[in-house]
């Protein structure tokens, strides 16, 4: 068939161009990677009716349906109305004026998360509950950002490899009177975490609070509930990771010991920051690059604007990422080619 | 003497009692469980009837009231010592029949064993009265009926919790005084008559079989399954082991206090002797020691089994080692050994 397709528009509509002419792959968001299992049948129907029968687990926990013909897109979009209304509007409180025409934006990527404390014995938080709360702050949105939520510092949720990665952590309470001095927490902390515990000469535990990562291994192993998590949930927020062909890098800590409330205030500022960097002209550029253009200090200023930090919160004074430069001096170029941020910034991409 | 009380009246009496008694009951500690957003239920002083957790088994046993996990027992100076003091308040503990029976088991160790009374246990025990919580359903890991610990009679009062009040049977005369203006109502406490888990009690006929049991491969699986955390023994209502630690001034080691703290046969180092000798070298050994102690060795000495079938060890094991299943495996091993042809050795 002789196609005339605006593939940028189909991409924004979450239909990804295939190597096979006229075919597309539908990417359906699954905020927090966890859904009512009834949607499996729903997705299966799309695969069998309009796709080529294959199904792919999206790398960001999307439902990926390959082999959809361009002509089928309106029918698929009409069919996924129920999904958008159930998952985005109903489950995540996303404001969508139009649910008739499929996904409206691809900018804010699917928010990934591990299973979290719904199931996992290691997790400190309900990961997908947080993902679902962040969802309406970044979707629909044309500014590209990758977000992940991990339930504990094991980081199966890959918080270290996203623009923003949240890791659920817990502040521990030590009930000395319940401690039997077995030293199991000391071993667990040194084997699995940062080794901040020590059995003192009186058979109780001394803790070096400064380097506790809040993982909860002490609580998991304690036979007597001498270590318990405080009820308030805390997070470490990692920043600025990226993969790719130029300068891959792992995230560094931006915030630690912040509450969920702080995180939600933070993401409410993300569209504001992105818009400022790109001078209100969204382009296909991920969050980490926007931070690079603005510089960390400017990023911090805009992102923390009006955010009320909880008393325990700590913020990175500066961040020094370590990049894998695939070409030496990749950032060294004529001044005229430097990317600019803020008012008057022109697209250099 | 039976009484029926509204929650309001019961709380009013509770407040009166609190002038004379410390009142302990299983209480919920939210989000303090091993896993995130799980609770534990342990014994603590209560201020109202509503605080008592009646619909779930407590994570930890009421032994913590009489035998605290950490207890300062005496203070010492250069040439003398004095025991810690206690206030004059008496103690009421709400506990289930299995836990009341577990008192008897611990008390054979702490009181009278070898003709000696444990001063620190005894002085607390003398202040205590039990309020028996009626328990007619139990939980999946309970096997009190098999152990014969589903019933208890040595209580000061027995209680049934209703949605809007309580029914009481008050036997203790001193307690009866608090109910002078409460209308009498007939109440006879009931007991559980059958558990979901039924355990056949191991019968080890002689020392030869016992020795064969010790060498039996049934214990080997625990080398990889048990992590030696000791959670089973801390939650156990009958474990009595403790160790003592002296806390002393860093600049004058002759002055300080002596504490005793729970210990556990399941944790590393428990049976390490001076000189480094270790009796039970593997987790199979420590498991065998614990299991035989609970359902055989103690009985050989005192005539009754140590285990009361509360199932807390199973509930607390992070590795899903079920004590009742272990007893079943032990029964199989005994049968296997007893049915073997007698060897020459």
Mark yes or no for CB contact B70/A231 under 8 Å: no
pLDDT of residue A3: 87
CB B262 within 8 Å of CB B69: yes
Indicate the DSSP class of residue A109: P
- Residues in chain B with CB shorter than 8 Å from the CB of A225 are 29, 32-34, 40, 42, 59-60
| C-alpha span between B155 and B176 (Å, rounded) | 13
CA A111 to chain centre: 5
Mark yes or no for CB contact B36/A216 under 8 Å: yes
Mark yes or no for CB contact B262/A216 under 8 Å: no
Number of domains in chain A: 3
Mark yes or no for CB contact B267/A228 under 8 Å: no
- Residues in chain B with CB shorter than 8 Å from the CB of A202 are 245-247, 259
Among candidate residues A41, A62, A91, the one where a domain is terminated? A91
Are both A159 and A24 inside the same structural domain? no
Q: Is the pLDDT of residue B343 over 80?
A: no
* CATH number, residue A11: 3.90.480.20
B29, B30, B34, B36: best mutation site toward chain A, by most A Cβ within 10 Å? B36
| C-alpha span between A326 and A242 (Å, rounded) | 13
The whole-chain average pLDDT of chain A stands at: 95
Quote the Cα angle for A218-A223-A224, to 5°: 95
- Is the sign of the CA dihedral B120, B123, B127, B133 positive or negative? positive
- Residues in chain B with CB shorter than 8 Å from the CB of A231 are 30-31
Q: Is residue A320 part of a domain?
A: yes
Nearest residue on chain A to B69, alpha-carbon basis: A178
Q: Is residue A271 part of a domain?
A: yes
- Enumerate chain A positions whose Cβ falls within 8 A of a Cβ in B: 117, 121, 123-126, 151, 168, 170, 176-182, 184, 202-203, 216, 219-225, 228-229, 231
Are both A78 and A152 inside the same structural domain? no
Helices A287-294 and A270-277: angle between axes, nearest 10 degrees: 60
Give the β-pairing of A172-174 and B40-45. Answer: unpaired
Mark yes or no for CB contact A117/B40 under 8 Å: no
Report pLDDT digits (tens) over A236-268: 999 999 999 999 999 999 999 999 999 999 999
> Given pLDDT bands bounded at 50, 70 and 90, which one contains residue B341?
confident
pLDDT of residue B342: 65
The whole-chain average pLDDT of chain B stands at: 96
Q: Is residue A294 part of a domain?
A: yes
B293's tokens: 């102690």
Owning domain of residue A253? 112-168+234-337
Are both A144 and A72 inside the same structural domain? no
Nearest residue on chain B to A122, alpha-carbon basis: B35
| CA torsion, ordered B312, B313, B314, B319, to nearest 10 deg | 140
Are both A302 and A190 inside the same structural domain? no
Of all residues in chain B, the percent with pLDDT exceeding 70 is 99
Mark yes or no for CB contact B69/A179 under 8 Å: yes
Which residues, at least 6 apart from A332, have a Cβ–Cβ distance to it below 8 Å?
Answer: none
Mark yes or no for CB contact A180/B34 under 8 Å: no
* A287 sits in which H/E element: helix A287-294
Are both A196 and A152 inside the same structural domain? no
Q: Is residue A342 part of a domain?
A: no
User: How close does chain A come to B171, measured CA to CA in Å?
Assistant: 34
* ipTM of the shown complex: 0.95
- Cα–Cα distance list, B334 to A71, A328, B207, B226, B271 (Å): 74, 73, 12, 22, 26
- Cβ-Cβ contacts under 8 Å between A and B: the total is 85
Q: Is residue A208 part of a domain?
A: yes
Are both A316 and A278 inside the same structural domain? yes
User: How close does chain A come to B236, measured CA to CA in Å?
Assistant: 11
A312's tokens: 């325990």
3-state SS record for chain B: CEEEEEHHHHHHHHHHHCCCEEEEEEEEECCCCCCCCCCEEEEEECCCHHHECCCCCCCCCCHHHHCCCEEEEEEECCCCEEECCCCCCEEEEEECHHHHHHHHHHHHHHECHHHCECHHHHHHHCCEEEEEECECCCCCCCCHHHHCCCCCCCCCEEEEECCCEEEEEECCHHHHHHHCCCCECCCCCCECCCCCCCCCCCCCCCHHHHHHHHCCHHHCHHHHHCCCCCHHHHHCCCCCCEEEEEEEECCEEEEEEEEEEECCCCCCCCCECCCCCECCCCHHHHHHHHHHHHHHHHHHHHCCCCCCCCCHHHHHCCCCCCHHHHHHHHHHHHHHHHHCCCCCC
Q: In degrees rounded to 5, what are phi and psi of residue A173?
A: -110, 135
A125, A129, A180: best mutation site toward chain B, by most B Cβ within 10 Å? A180
Among candidate residues A229, A252, A276, the one where a domain is terminated? A229
Q: Is the pLDDT of residue A21 over 70?
A: yes
Report pLDDT digits (tens) over A81-135: 999 999 999 999 999 999 999 999 999 999 999 999 999 999 999 999 999 999 9
Q: What is the mean pLDDT of residues A49-77?
A: 97
* CATH number, residue A190: 3.30.70.20
Among candidate residues A229, A250, A276, the one where a domain is terminated? A229
Are both A24 and A142 inside the same structural domain? no
Are both A266 and A318 inside the same structural domain? yes
- Residues in chain A with CB shorter than 8 Å from the CB of B318 are 220
Q: Is residue A131 part of a domain?
A: yes
pTM for the whole structure: 0.94
| C-alpha span between A308 and A341 (Å, rounded) | 26
Nearest to A27 by CA among A72, A58, A53, A55: A58
Q: What is the mean pLDDT of residues A30-44?
A: 98
Report pLDDT digits (tens) over B7-62: 999 999 999 999 999 999 999 999 999 999 999 999 999 999 999 999 999 999 99
Nearest to B247 among A123, A182, A202 (CB): A202
- Residues in chain A with CB shorter than 8 Å from the CB of B267 are 180, 182, 184, 223
| C-alpha span between A269 and A153 (Å, rounded) | 25
- Residues in chain B with CB shorter than 8 Å from the CB of A176 are 70
Q: What is the mean pLDDT of residues B131-160?
A: 98
CA B128 to chain centre: 15
Report pLDDT digits (tens) over A161-188: 999 999 999 999 999 999 999 999 999 9
pLDDT of residue B344: 55
CB A343 within 8 Å of CB A278: no
Q: Is residue A1 part of a domain?
A: no
- Enumerate chain B positions whose Cβ falls within 8 A of a Cβ in A: 29-37, 40, 42, 59-60, 68-70, 229-231, 233-234, 243, 245-247, 259, 261-264, 267-268, 316, 318
pLDDT of residue A349: 45
Are both A16 and A83 inside the same structural domain? yes
Q: Is residue A2 part of a domain?
A: no
pLDDT of residue B250: 85
CB B145 within 8 Å of CB B198: yes
User: How close does chain B come to A38, measured CA to CA in Å?
Assistant: 26
Mark yes or no for CB contact A178/B70 under 8 Å: yes
pLDDT of residue A243: 92
Are both A30 and A155 inside the same structural domain? no
Nearest to B69 among A126, A178, A220 (CB): A178
Are both A210 and A319 inside the same structural domain? no
Nearest residue on chain A to B316, alpha-carbon basis: A223
Are both A309 and A219 inside the same structural domain? no
CB A300 within 8 Å of CB A239: no
């Amino acid at each position: 068939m002789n196609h005339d397709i605006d593939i940028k528009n189909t991409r924004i509509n979450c239909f990804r161009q295939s190597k096979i002419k006229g075919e597309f792959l539908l990417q359906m968001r699954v905020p927090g990677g966890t859904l009512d299992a009834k949607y499996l049948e729903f997705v299966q129907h799309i695969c069998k009716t309009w796709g080529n029968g294959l199904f792919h687990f999206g790398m960001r926990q999307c439902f990926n349906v390959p082999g959809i013909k361009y002509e089928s897109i309106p029918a698929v979009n009409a069919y996924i109305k129920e999904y958008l209304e159930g998952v985005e509007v109903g489950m995540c409180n996303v404001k969508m004026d139009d649910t008739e025409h499929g996904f409206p934006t691809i900018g804010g990527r699917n928010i990934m998360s591990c299973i979290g404390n719904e199931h996992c014995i290691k997790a400190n938080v309900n990961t997908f509950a947080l993902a679902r709360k962040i969802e309406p702050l970044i979707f629909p949105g044309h500014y590209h950002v990758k977000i992940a939520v991990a339930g504990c510092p094991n980081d199966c949720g890959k918080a270290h490899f996203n623009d923003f990665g949240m890791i659920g952590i817990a502040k521990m309470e030590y009930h000395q009177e319940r401690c039997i001095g077995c030293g199991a927490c000391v071993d667990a902390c040194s084997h699995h975490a940062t080794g901040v515990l020590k059995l003192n000469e009186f058979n109780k535990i001394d803790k070096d609070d400064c380097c506790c990562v809040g993982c909860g291994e002490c609580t998991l192993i304690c036979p007597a509930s001498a270590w318990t998590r405080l009820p308030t949930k805390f997070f470490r927020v990692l920043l600025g990771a990226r993969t790719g062909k130029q300068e891959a890098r792992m995230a560094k800590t931006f915030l630690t010991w912040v509450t969920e409330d702080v995180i939600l205030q933070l993401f409410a500022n993300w569209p504001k920051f992105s818009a400022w960097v790109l001078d209100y002209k969204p382009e296909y550029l991920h969050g980490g690059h926007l931070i690079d253009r603005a510089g960390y200090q400017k990023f911090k200023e805009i992102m923390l604007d009006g955010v009320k930090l909880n008393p325990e919160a700590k913020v990175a004074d500066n961040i020094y990422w370590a990049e894998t430069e695939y070409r030496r001096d990749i950032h060294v170029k004529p001044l005229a080619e430097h990317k600019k941020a803020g008012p008057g910034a022109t697209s250099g991409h | 003497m039976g009484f029926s009380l509204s929650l309001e009246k019961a709380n009013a009496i509770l407040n009166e009692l609190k002038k004379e008694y410390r009142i302990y009951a299983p209480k919920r500690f939210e989000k303090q469980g091993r896993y995130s957003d799980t609770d534990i239920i342990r014994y603590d002083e209560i201020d109202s009837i509503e605080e008592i957790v009646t619909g779930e088994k407590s994570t930890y046993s009421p032994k913590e009231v009489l035998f605290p996990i950490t207890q300062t027992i005496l203070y010492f100076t250069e040439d003398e010592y004095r025991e810690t003091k206690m206030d004059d308040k008496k103690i009421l503990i709400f506990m289930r029949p299995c836990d009341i029976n577990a008192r008897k088991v611990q008390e054979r160790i702490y009181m009278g064993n070898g003709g000696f009374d444990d001063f620190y246990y005894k002085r607390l025990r003398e202040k205590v009265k039990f309020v028996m919580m009626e328990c007619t359903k139990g939980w999946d890991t309970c096997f009190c009926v098999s152990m014969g610990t589903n019933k208890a009679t040595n209580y000061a009062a027995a209680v049934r919790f209703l949605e809007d009040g309580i029914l009481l049977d008050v036997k203790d005369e001193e307690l009866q005084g608090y109910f002078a203006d409460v209308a009498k109502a007939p109440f006879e406490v009931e007991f559980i008559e059958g558990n979901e888990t039924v355990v056949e009690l191991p019968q080890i006929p002689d020392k030869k079989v016992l020795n064969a049991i010790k060498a039996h491969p049934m214990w080997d699986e625990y080398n990889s399954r048990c992590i030696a955390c000791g959670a089973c023994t801390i939650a156990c209502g009958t474990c009595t082991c403790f160790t003592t630690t002296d806390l002393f001034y860093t600049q004058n080691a002759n002055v300080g206090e002596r504490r005793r703290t729970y210990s556990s046969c399941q944790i590393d180092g428990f049976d390490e002797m001076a000189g480094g000798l270790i009796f039970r070298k593997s987790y199979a050994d420590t498991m065998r020691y614990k299991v035989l102690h609970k359902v055989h060795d103690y009985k050989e000495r005192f005539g009754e089994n140590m285990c009361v079938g509360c199932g807390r060890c199973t509930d607390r094991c992070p590795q899903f080692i079920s004590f009742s299943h272990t007893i079943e495996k032990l029964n199989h091993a005994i049968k296997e050994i007893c049915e073997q042809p007698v060897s020459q050795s």
